[in-house]
């Protein structure tokens, strides 16, 4: 393998990794606050991509507008799902909300199958994303630069929100101790809604870029990336935003490099992340940057 | 109620059920018999998941994986070498796969044992994890099984799967195994072991403080559950006569989970009732996927609508009746007689 090839693989893994990272952030934020694995998150990824497709084909909107609207609509949907399916279960055993989220996930997926049909649809890609730039034997699609750059921008905005704004302070407070935050006057429900909104917006953005990269839409497209992103979140230490980013990038890197160096193993690609998950959980149950969870007695 | 009376009533119930099956076998059409068969298999699967999740508190999402193992092992054993010759067209089967052949009963048991072995192997590292993590890790296990099934053409015939598996699984076999499952799980739960399992579910830290070897009991419950999940998978393979890796997606686990949650976590009688209800409902819901004639208007059938209604039902149950049909209560002869005597007075 020469250097040019290696650089190309690196860029690919950066693209894939940042897509995982964007989804992983949503899992990690919700888990950090509610201790809930939101299975419906991967359906938000899928819906975001479909909404853009609709905006362009039915609404004849230009790309950036369609993308902004799709992200906003999906984020709203994420908030609604929380209000309808998780909020009534805040005081219930945690497993109830988890089952509810599995139900929501299946519901949205099947609604998508009913409305959009199960057949994969092709995605129209804007021309400027497709013309490859070739320098020094490295063939780069603008897409492979666009995706990590946009992801980076979104993550910087997120970090600004979480660490520099009052709402972010509220999020961090709730993730430490929800009851005390409530007593201290933190508007808990509004902040949880905001968290769902932001997390879902990132998942939608990721789904849209995923659809551009593998130009295809189908109702089940969120499932595998969703699981992998969850694994990335666990890998980095669930509840930690930098952890989710590192986990996502690491998973993208491992996946691309495994397939690049051992093409024979390509068939096992989807199982690979799960093996990694099980290994990580065995060695370090709280992930790379995860905090130690104390045993509750 | 005395013990002798209970045993007598249990025997009578089994005989009544047997009589019903005997009549059903001749008077029902094939479709209805198929539904009865599915009811039996779903009850086996749901009982085994309820043992793991409802009674021991281990949130496992790996049932489809155990079922796949049971189904593949059993199918390989009951197909004749000639059949396998015809079947393995991608690549020829390994010799030991090619020549393995056992009668149905032994093959089903082998399928269950293989699943139980897998349960021990994955349970050993995973059962130390907390509930959510265990759920996602067992889900990962099921996914790994599926990917392996897809990529081992010499063992599993890859994505093509098996066709023409001998259809031994009839009403007698399925309900027979259903009875065995129920008996084993009831005896297990009534024993001291059962009390320990429930103690672990209710408060693991307290159970550990009482000197219980929590891990060993978790592993026991997990592998017994896996055994019956494997048996269920084996029976399903023989009933449907065709299996492939796509069959064992997460949806399958979801259906079983739905039965357990609807019946009540920690209630065997609830599981049985929900198993019957949901299997019938899943079939009946096919109506919404077929065109419906409504007062002269032709409403087109909507493919996929069945699962929409089904998942909506799960959300509704968890939102409005979290404890399911029976909660943690059981239907017993005693409670039945109480209902009847109240009716008289």
Nearest CB to A100 within list B144, B147, B318? B318
Rg (CA), chain B: 21
Contact with chain B for residue A80, Cβ under 8 A: no
Report the pLDDT value the prediction gives residue A35, as an integer from 0 to 100. Answer: 86
Cβ–Cβ below 8 Å for B126 and A278: yes
Is A266 in CB contact (< 8 Å) with chain B? no
pLDDT band at A274 (very low <50, low <70, confident <90, very high): confident
Q: What pLDDT, in 10s, does the model give residues A68-105?
A: 999 999 999 999 999 999 999 988 887 788 889 999 99
What mean pLDDT is predicted for residues A32-43?
Answer: 90
Interchain contact B95–A (C-beta under 8 A): no
Interface residue A240 vs chain B (CB under 8 A): no
Band (pLDDT 50/70/90 cuts) for residue B345 is: very low
Given this model, what pLDDT does residue A121 score?
A: 81
- In B, which residues are within 8 Å of A87 by CB distance? none
CB contact under 8 A, A278 and B257: no
Q: What is the pLDDT of residue A296?
A: 43
Tell me if A274 and B143 make a contact (CB, 8 A cut-off). Answer: yes
Is the model more confident about A139 or about B283?
A: B283
B33 touches chain A (CB under 8 A): no
User: Is A99's CB within 8 Å of B304's CB?
Assistant: no
pLDDT band at A108 (very low <50, low <70, confident <90, very high): very high
The answer, yes or no, to whether residue B240 has pLDDT greater than 70, is: yes
Partner residue opposite B143 with nearest CB, options A107, A118, A271:
A271
Assess B300–A contact: CB distance below 8 Å, yes or no: no
pLDDT (average), residues B244-273: 91
By C-alpha distance, the chain B residue nearest A35 is B132
- ipTM for this model: 0.84
Q: What is the pLDDT of residue B55?
A: 93
Has residue B193 got a pLDDT over 90?
A: yes
Which residue has better confidence, B175 or A289? B175
Taking contacts as CB-CB distances below 8 angstroms, the residues of chain B near A92 are 322
Q: Are residues A110 and B307, on separate chains, in Cβ contact within 8 Å?
A: yes
For residue A102, list chain B residues with Cβ-Cβ distance below 8 A: 254, 257, 314
B10 confidence band (pLDDT: 50, 70, 90)? confident
Are A98 and A27 within 8 A, CB to CB? no
CA angle at A261 for the pair A260 and A262, rounded to the nearest 5°? 100
Q: Using CA coordinates, name the residue in chain A closest to B288.
A: A114
Res. A178: pLDDT tops 80 = yes
For chain B, say whether A277 makes contact (Cβ under 8 Å). Answer: yes
By Cβ distance, the residue of A85, A114, A285 closest to B305 is A114
**Residue pLDDT, tens place only, B276-299:** 999 998 888 877 777 666 666 666
Q: What is the pLDDT of residue B337?
A: 76
> What is the per-residue pLDDT for A295?
46
pLDDT, average across residues B252-275 = 91
A94/B132 CB distance under 8 A: yes
Q: Are A268 and B305 inside 8 Å of each other by CB? A: no
Q: Which residues of B touch A285 (CB under 8 A)?
A: 128-130, 133
Per-residue pLDDT band for A46 (boundaries 50, 70, 90) equals very high
B302 touches chain A (CB under 8 A): yes
Q: What is the pLDDT of residues A209-246, one digit of tens each?
A: 999 888 888 888 888 899 899 989 988 888 888 899 99
């Amino acid at each position: 393998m020469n250097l040019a090839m290696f650089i190309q693989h690196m860029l690919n893994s950066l693209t894939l990794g940042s897509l995982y990272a964007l989804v992983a952030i949503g899992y990690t934020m919700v888990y950090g606050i509610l201790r809930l694995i939101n299975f419906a998150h991967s359906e938000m990824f899928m819906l975001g991509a479909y909404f853009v497709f609709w905006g362009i084909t039915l609404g004849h909107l230009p790309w950036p507008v369609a993308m902004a609207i799709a992200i906003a609509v999906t984020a709203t949907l994420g908030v609604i799902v929380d209000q309808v399916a998780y909020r009534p279960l805040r005081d219930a055993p945690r497993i109830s909300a988890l089952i509810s989220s599995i139900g929501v996930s299946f519901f949205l997926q099947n609604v998508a199958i009913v409305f959009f049909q199960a057949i994969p649809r092709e995605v129209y890609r804007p021309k400027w994303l497709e013309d490859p730039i070739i320098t020094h034997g490295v063939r780069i699609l603008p897409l492979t630069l666009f995706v990590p750059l946009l992801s980076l921008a979104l993550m910087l905005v997120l970090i600004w929100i979480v660490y520099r704004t009052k709402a972010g302070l509220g999020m961090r407070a709730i993730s430490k101790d929800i009851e005390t935050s409530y007593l201290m006057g933190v508007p808990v429900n509004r902040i949880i809604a905001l968290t769902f909104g932001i997390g879902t917006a990132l998942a939608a953005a990721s789904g849209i870029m995923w659809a551009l990269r593998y130009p295809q839409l189908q109702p089940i497209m969120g499932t595998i990336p969703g699981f992998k992103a969850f694994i990335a979140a666990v890998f980095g230490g669930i509840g930690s935003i930098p952890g989710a980013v590192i986990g996502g990038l690491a998973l993208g890197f491992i996946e691309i490099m495994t397939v690049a160096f051992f093409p024979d193993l390509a068939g096992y690609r989807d199982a690979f992340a799960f093996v990694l998950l099980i290994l990580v959980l065995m060695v370090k149950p709280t992930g790379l940057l995860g905090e130690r969870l104390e045993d509750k007695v | 109620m005395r013990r002798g009376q209970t045993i007598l009533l249990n025997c009578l119930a089994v005989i009544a059920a047997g009589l019903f099956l005997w009549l059903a076998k001749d008077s029902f059409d094939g479709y209805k018999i198929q539904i009865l068969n599915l009811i039996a298999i779903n009850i086996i699967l749901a009982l085994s998941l309820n043992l793991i999740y409802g009674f021991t508190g281990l949130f496992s999402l790996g049932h489809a994986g155990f079922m796949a193992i049971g189904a593949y092992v059993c199918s390989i054993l009951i197909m004749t070498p000639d059949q396998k010759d015809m079947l393995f067209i991608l690549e020829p089967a390994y010799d030991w796969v090619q020549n393995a052949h056992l009668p149905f009963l032994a093959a089903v048991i082998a399928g269950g044992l293989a699943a139980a072995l897998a349960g021990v192997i994955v349970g050993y590292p995973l059962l130390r994890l907390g509930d959510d993590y265990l759920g996602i890790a067992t889900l990962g296990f099921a996914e790994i099984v599926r990917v392996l099934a897809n990529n081992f053409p010499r063992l599993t015939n890859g994505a093509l799967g098996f066709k023409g598996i001998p259809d031994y699984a009839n009403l007698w076999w399925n309900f027979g195994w259903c009875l065995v499952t129920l008996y084993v799980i009831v005896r297990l739960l009534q024993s001291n072991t059962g009390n320990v399992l429930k103690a672990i579910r209710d408060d693991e830290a307290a159970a550990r403080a009482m000197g219980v070897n929590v891990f060993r009991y978790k592993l026991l419950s997990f592998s017994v559950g896996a055994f019956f999940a494997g048996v269920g998978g084996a029976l399903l393979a023989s009933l449907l006569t065709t299996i492939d890796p796509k069959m064992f997606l997460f949806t399958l686990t979801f259906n079983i989970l739905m039965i357990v949650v609807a019946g009540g976590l920690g209630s065997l009688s609830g599981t049985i009732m929900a198993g019957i209800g949901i299997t019938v409902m899943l079939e009946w819901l096919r109506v919404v996927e077929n065109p419906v004639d409504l007062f002269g208007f032709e409403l087109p059938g909507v493919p996929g609508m069945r699962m929409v209604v089904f998942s909506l039902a799960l959300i509704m149950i968890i939102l409005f009746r979290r404890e399911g049909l029976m909660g943690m209560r059981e239907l017993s002869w005693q409670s039945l007689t109480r209902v009847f005597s109240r009716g008289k007075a």
